[in-house]
Chain A
Amino acid sequence: AQTVTQSQPEMSVQEAETVTLSCTYDTSENNYYLFWYKQPPSRQMILVIRQEAYKQQNATENRFSVNFQKAAKSFSLKISDSQLGDTAMYFCAFMKWAGGTSYGKLTFGQGTILTVHP
């Protein structure tokens, strides 16, 4: 079974600054995907970024980037130039991937509440 751990229940950052959210996971699988999802006050889950385990290059999406350390089983999210709209709960998630197909089940971390202050 997979486990995902987010050790920061809450974080805060000033607008325009950079913040890093931590995530570690445990798995015996070699092929998998890792995700960061954002859940704003509306509670709609929004995909922020994803990383394929077999790709060594860290994924980036505009202001969002990850630091994927496969050996250490670490997957942190860096948000640059933080904006007020980034205020949300952020979840790290794991999905097993095998033979070009996914099992579809997402295992989520506990979440980190991020508050961006003006």
Chain B
Amino acid sequence: GAVVSQHPSWVICKSGTSVKIECRSLDFQATTMFWYRQFPKQSLMLMATSNEGSKATYEQGVEKDKFLINHASLTLSTLTVTSAHPEDSSFYICSARRDSYTPLMYFGPGTRLTVL
């Protein structure tokens, strides 16, 4: 089966610092990766679509300069939360798909970000 990993699984940082979260497809090449944000007991909200070798496409209302996304290779996408503040504390989930000809999406286990 297709496996997607995220690192770290949990990160605590001080307000004002930047945090990088990695999303890797372990056994397949992902042309597209997606980043979601989830608050406790709430739904997943799509933040951005990450395509290898091109700029990410952000959803309306998501600050591009706040949430930097880089899809450097077919197996790695990173989300950097810049100048993090307590309101950025959330659960961040990535997903990946092999290509555009399948509806199947593979999810990472998520990263819990706590900003003090």
Using CB atoms and an 8 Å cutoff, list the residues of chain A in contact with chain B.
Answer: 33, 35, 42-45, 47, 50, 89, 91, 95, 97, 100-111, 113
B interface residues (Cβ-Cβ under 8 A, vs A): 32, 34, 38, 41-46, 49, 91, 93, 95, 97, 100-105, 107, 109-110
Contact of A50 among B41, B91, B103, B109 (CB under 8 A): B103
- In the complex the two chains form, is B41's CB within 8 Å of A101's CB? no
Chain B residue nearest in CB terms to A100 = B101
**Shortest CB distance B93–A (Å):** 7
Contact B109 A102 (CB under 8 A): no
CA distance A13 to B9 in the complex (A): 32
Find the A residue at minimum CB distance from B99.
A101
Selected from B95, B101, B107, the residue in CB contact (under 8 A) with A101 is B101
B73 vs chain A, min Cβ distance (A): 18
Is A104 in contact with B34, judged by CB distance below 8 angstroms?
yes
Determine if B109 and A47 form an interchain contact, defined as CB atoms under 8 angstroms apart: no
Least CB distance, B47 to chain A, in whole angstroms: 11
Quick one: which of A45, A50, A104, A110 contacts B32, CB cutoff 8 A? Answer: A104
Most buried by A among B38, B95, B97: B38
Task: State which of B44, B91, B97 has its C-beta within 8 Å of the C-beta of A104.
Answer: B97
List, in ascending order, chain A residues with CB within 8 A of B101's CB: 100-102
Closest chain-A Cβ to B109's Cβ sits at a distance in Å of 5
B110–A43 contact, CB under 8 A?
Answer: yes
Beyond A102-B100, A102-B101, A104-B34, 8 additional pairs, beta carbon < 8 A: A33-B103, A42-B109, A45-B93, A47-B105, A104-B100, A105-B34, A108-B44, A111-B41
Would A91 and B44 be within 8 Å (CB), given that A43-B109, A104-B105 are in contact? yes
